[in-house]
């Protein structure tokens, strides 16, 4: 469960819908009879060694195949980086998951002077992870160019209070979700968007980005 490439909220919502999750399992064969899908053969996996991208890759467990009854299979299409921006750069290695191989500490690729981070290295992840990688890469790029790797803090450009500052604790806003009984037999979005009032309230919580502690 902890290694699933999915948000914890998404997992919880799926289980609320009655979905049974087979962890570390990969489908290998679709089985049909009389032109209709009847079964799916799967194999169980275990987490192997860390690869060069810093992630543990699943390894097939020998003789662990099993068959489940199915009448419909819905492919869950994931996301992958667009590598067409890297023509001719033979020094940049990619994994079979179409992510870029980069040093886990420096984010340097096999091509001198080229650094990579965010989703194109880790796979689908959070915006915050991408921002953190950008800052880390900036430090390493500065070192690569002969600098010290010290990123100066933003200069003090003066301050002018543009609105009310909330010092008290303000709870995070949560968008509504589609009731479970309305999620079946369709592909409607489960998570709703913020209302205007929620969006304004949530935005007012983010007025102290200068606080580093």
Does residue 165 register a pLDDT over 90? no
User: Do 59 and 26 touch, CB atoms closer than 8 A?
Assistant: no
In this prediction, residue 213 carries a pLDDT of: 43
In this prediction, residue 191 carries a pLDDT of: 87
User: Do 42 and 22 touch, CB atoms closer than 8 A?
Assistant: yes
Mind listing the pLDDT tens digit for each residue in 173-191?
Answer: 989 989 999 988 888 988 8
DSSP SS3 for 70: coil
Does residue 135 register a pLDDT over 70? yes
In this prediction, residue 38 carries a pLDDT of: 96
Task: Please state which of the ranges 113-127, 147-161, 166-180 shows the lowest mean pLDDT.
Answer: 147-161
Helices and strands per DSSP (H, E), number in the chain = 4, 4
Does residue 106 register a pLDDT over 90? yes
DSSP SS3 for 102: coil
In this prediction, residue 90 carries a pLDDT of: 67
**Cα gap 123→162, rounded to integer Å:** 39
Instruction: Between 9 and 105, name the one with better pLDDT.
Output: 105
**Cα gap 125→119, rounded to integer Å:** 6
User: Do 176 and 192 touch, CB atoms closer than 8 A?
Assistant: yes
Look over the chain and give the mean of its residue pLDDT values, rounded to a whole number: 84
Q: What percent of the chain has pLDDT over 90?
A: 37
Token couple for 142: 């500065």
**What stretch of H or E contains 198?**
helix 196-203
In this prediction, residue 66 carries a pLDDT of: 96
Mind listing the pLDDT tens digit for each residue in 7-54?
Answer: 788 888 889 989 889 989 999 999 999 999 999 999 999 988 876 656
Q: Where are the domains of the chain?
A: 8-69, 83-144, 163-213
Q: Measure Cα distances from 10 to 158, 177, 213 in Å.
A: 42, 11, 30
DSSP SS3 for 122: helix
């Amino acid at each position: 469960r902890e290694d699933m490439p999915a948000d914890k909220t998404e997992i919880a919502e799926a289980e609320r819908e009655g979905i049974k999750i087979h962890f570390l399992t990969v489908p290998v064969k679709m089985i049909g009879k009389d032109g209709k899908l009847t079964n799916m053969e799967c194999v169980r996996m275990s987490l192997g060694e860390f690869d060069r991208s810093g992630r543990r890759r699943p390894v097939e467990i020998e003789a662990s195949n099993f068959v489940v009854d199915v009448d419909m299979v819905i492919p869950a299409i994931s996301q992958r980086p667009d590598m067409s921006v890297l023509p001719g750069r033979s020094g940049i290695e990619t994994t079979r998951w179409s992510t870029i191989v980069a040093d886990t500490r420096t984010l340097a690729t096999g091509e001198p002077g080229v650094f990579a981070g965010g989703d194109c290295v880790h796979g689908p992840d959070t915006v915050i992870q991408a921002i953190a990688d950008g800052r880390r890469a900036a430090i390493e790029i500065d070192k690569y160019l002969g600098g010290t790797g010290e990123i100066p803090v933003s200069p003090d450009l003066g301050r002018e209070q543009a609105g009310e500052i909330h010092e008290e604790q303000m709870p995070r806003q949560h968008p509504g979700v589609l009731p479970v009984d309305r999620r079946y037999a369709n592909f409607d979005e489960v998570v709703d968007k913020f209302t205007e009032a929620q969006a304004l309230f949530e935005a007012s919580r983010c007025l102290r980005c200068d606080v580093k502690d």
